[in-house]
Amino acid sequence: MSRIRINHRILSYEMGELVEFSGEPAGINLSDTVFEFLSEESESLQSSTGTSFDDEEQEQENENENINAKNAKDIDDEKNSWETQLQLLQATVFRTSSLESRIRKIVKEAKQAGNACACGTPEQKSCRKCLMEVVCRRLQSCGFNSAICKSKWRSSPDIPSGEHTFLDVIDTSRSKGGEVRVIIELNFRAEFEMARANPEYDKLVEALPEIFVGKIERLLALLKILCTAAKRCMKAKKQHMAPWRKHRYMQAKWLKTCERFAVAQPLWPEYGYTGRVARPSVSLLTVDLKESFADLYRPAAVEAA
């Protein structure tokens, strides 16, 4: 930058007296003046804020570390919460009574028997309806008041209508406390499986038994754990909760008013027969008309005689 000559009065304060200079003073270097001004502004800004750029970077790093620590803590809390739910579910599943243990043993034996379906379904595709009838008959033969239950409920603003079929046993042998109802679900684990669930929810479902045999109180406890976990899973994945996964819908499956249907005993239980008597099929090609219609068949020679 060039030096600019100034042709006006310049006042200077020296030794406590005001001195006036006139004439053409030496040129002023504007570049030095500008940089000196910027330096003074930077110093005043630093003194006013009390922090430097290095301090700001350090504060930003500290803030990022705090955010990372908070996120790590949230992840640990989330993991611990899922572990707590798993332990609670396992404790609820393993808690059982002598009555439930006896029923569970009979149900497993009936399911492993492998009786043929009366409806003609191949054995490897086990028909649910016929399997429930087999289990119900086995329980009845062991002296239990067992029946096939069918629950049905209407739609509401929260859940759609539906129906569900399962087994139950009503025990009245206890002298105190009245009757005890035990719910039997042959495909309990499949009722809670979800296609897009997170690993934590899948771990809970894997801890469930395939066959559930338990009182209503234990069923309510499991439904609360699993439905809360399903809602939490869908929220974490930012997906919509299906209405048939809600707590009220799952309760309606087993706890709504239902009809009990007693299953009739088969004609030959010792042979493992579990269905209706099949009508024999006879082809007309194998029928001997001479034996069946002996009176109608007479040779012509006999008639002439």
| Cβ neighbours around 216 below 10 Å, total | 14
Query: What are the residues facing 83 on neighbouring strands?
Result: none
Q: How far apart are CA 233 and CA 236, in angstroms?
A: 5
Nearest Cα residue to 105 out of 211, 185, 25: 211
Q: What percent of the chain has a predicted confidence (pLDDT) above 90?
A: 38
Comparison of pLDDT for 265 and 278, the residue scoring more: 265
Distances (CA, A) of 194 to 79, 85, 119, 205, 223: 20, 18, 30, 9, 15
| Phi/psi-derived region of residue 95, left when phi > 0, alpha when psi is between -120 and 50, beta in every other case | beta
Average pLDDT over residues 18-31: 52
In the predicted structure, residue 275 carries a pLDDT above the cut 50: no
Q: What pLDDT score was predicted for residue 175?
A: 63
For residue 197, pLDDT beyond 50? yes
| Neighbouring C-alpha atoms within 13 Å toward the C-beta of 278 | 9
Domain boundaries, the chain: 10-49, 95-271
What's the start-to-end Cα distance of the chain, in Å?
Answer: 157
Count of alpha carbons within 13 Å of 75, Cβ hemisphere only?
A: 6
Is the pLDDT confidence value at 6 over 60?
Answer: no
More confident residue, 287 or 115: 115
Query: Is 145 in contact with 164 (CB distance < 8 Å)?
Result: no
Is a pLDDT exceeding 60 seen at residue 52? no
**What is the distance between the alpha carbons of residues 169 and 180, in angstroms, rounded to a whole number?**
8
In this predicted structure, which of 95-99, 134-138, 175-179 has the lowest mean pLDDT?
A: 175-179
- The residue assigned the tokens 């209706």 is 276
CB atoms within 10 A of CB 244: 13
Instruction: Answer whether residue 278 shows pLDDT above 50.
Output: no
Query: Is the pLDDT score of 304 beyond 70?
Result: no
- pLDDT at 58 exceeding the cut of 60: yes
Res. 225: pLDDT tops 80: yes
Q: Is residue 76 very low, low, confident or very high in pLDDT (cuts 50, 70, 90)?
A: low
So what's the pLDDT on residue 238?
Answer: 87
Give, to the nearest 10 degrees, the angle between helix 128-141 and helix 98-113.
130
Pick from 113-117, 143-147, 281-285: least confident: 281-285
* Confidence tier at 272 by pLDDT (50, 70, 90): very low
4 pLDDT band, cuts 50/70/90, is low
pTM over 0.85: no
Q: Does residue 240 have a pLDDT over 50?
A: yes
Q: Are 167 and 263 within 8 A, CB to CB?
A: no
Region of 232 on the Ramachandran plot (φ > 0 left; ψ -120 to 50 alpha; else beta): alpha
pLDDT at 288 over 50: yes
Instruction: Identify whether the C-beta of residue 262 lies closer than 8 Å to the C-beta of residue 147.
Output: yes
Contact 184, 169 (CB under 8 A): yes
pLDDT score at 229: 93
Amino acid 44: pLDDT: 58
